[in-house]
Amino acid sequence: MHSITKTLSSVRVFAAGVIVSGLSMGSAQAQIVVDLNNPADYTIQEIIDGNGLRVGDKVFDDFSIVSTGTTGITLPDADSVKVKGGLDSTGNIELEFFGGWVAGTNELVNSTIEFTVTADSPFLIEAVELSMQNFAAFGAGQVNIAENIFLDEDETVIGIAPPFLNTFYEGNTGTLVNLDTATVIPGPQSTLYVSKDITVRDLSDGNQASSAHLSRFTQTYIQIPEPGTVVLLLSGGALMMMRRRSEG
């Protein structure tokens, strides 16, 4: 992953078949705050310029994206990939990613997206879930998202293999793994460093008519205490206070 640089500027380097976008800023400054009743999507560049994205009790910042691919192919970058924060059906925080990873015969596009997620007290992240929604592959086309979850910004976890998630779909075989979950090791954490490797390609090296695309995937952060438990605790505490007042 990146060694996190605290800067307000974004950096872009354009080369043949390579786009590097974004270095973000610290979470100590005000962030873009998502309205959970009416969440909007933001480009990665907007999140970088806005000092991070707050979704409920979690802050997502230090974003970067690096894309490479076959010469002439359209590469996703910080201005084209969008992120939308929200809640899943059980109240866990999730991020949806929207972009255009498209490859035809003898083509490949790859992106590495990295960022930090920090949970407010008393929440800790105990597991991470990765799922793909909008994707397809034909012929020898393949869609793959591989991800590592690190406990420190230098990607060094002494003696511990970092949690790994992998989702993919292969056109030829029909093999599909569109949901994967990894438990945080060695235990629930308040801060995680995420590194995603997204690849859409033709596995036949041009020997077969092939195509593949990916336009949406989701990451969910399973936390403790569970959101429902916190609501019950808060409501229970309020009820006790009301009883004490009425008895007093």
pLDDT of residue 72: 93
Of the ranges 28-32, 187-191, 206-210, 211-215, the best mean pLDDT one: 211-215
Tell me: pLDDT of 20 over 50: no
pLDDT at 22 over 60: no
Q: What digits encode the pLDDT tens for the residues 62-91? A: 999 999 999 999 999 999 999 999 999 999
What is the average per-residue pLDDT within 216-230? 81
Three-state SS string across the chain, please? CCCCCCCCCCCEEEECCEEEECCCCCCCCCCEECCCCCCCEEEHHHHHHCCCEEECCEEEEEEEEEEEECCCCCCCCCCCCEEEEEECCCCCEEEEEEEEEEECCCCEEEEEEEEEEEECCCCEEEEEEEEEEEEEEECCEEEEEEEEEECCCCCCCCCCCCCEEEEEEECCCCCEECEEEEECCCCCECEEEEEEEEEEEECCCCCCCCEEEEEEEEEEEEEECCHHHHHHHHHHHHHHHHHHHHHC
What percent of the chain shows pLDDT beyond 90? 68
Highest mean pLDDT among 144-158, 178-192, 206-220, 223-237: 206-220
- pLDDT at res. 234: 46
pLDDT higher than threshold 60 for residue 232: no
Residue 17 clears pLDDT 70, i.e. is over it? no
pTM greater than the 0.85 cutoff = no
Please say if the pLDDT value at position 117 is more than 80: yes
Express each pLDDT in 137-195 by its tens digit: 999 999 999 999 988 777 655 556 678 999 999 999 999 999 999 998 888 999 999 99
Q: Residue 207: is its pLDDT beyond 60?
A: yes
Mean pLDDT over 99-109 rounds to 97
Among 53-57, 92-96, 140-144, 233-237, which stretch is predicted with the lowest mean pLDDT?
Answer: 233-237
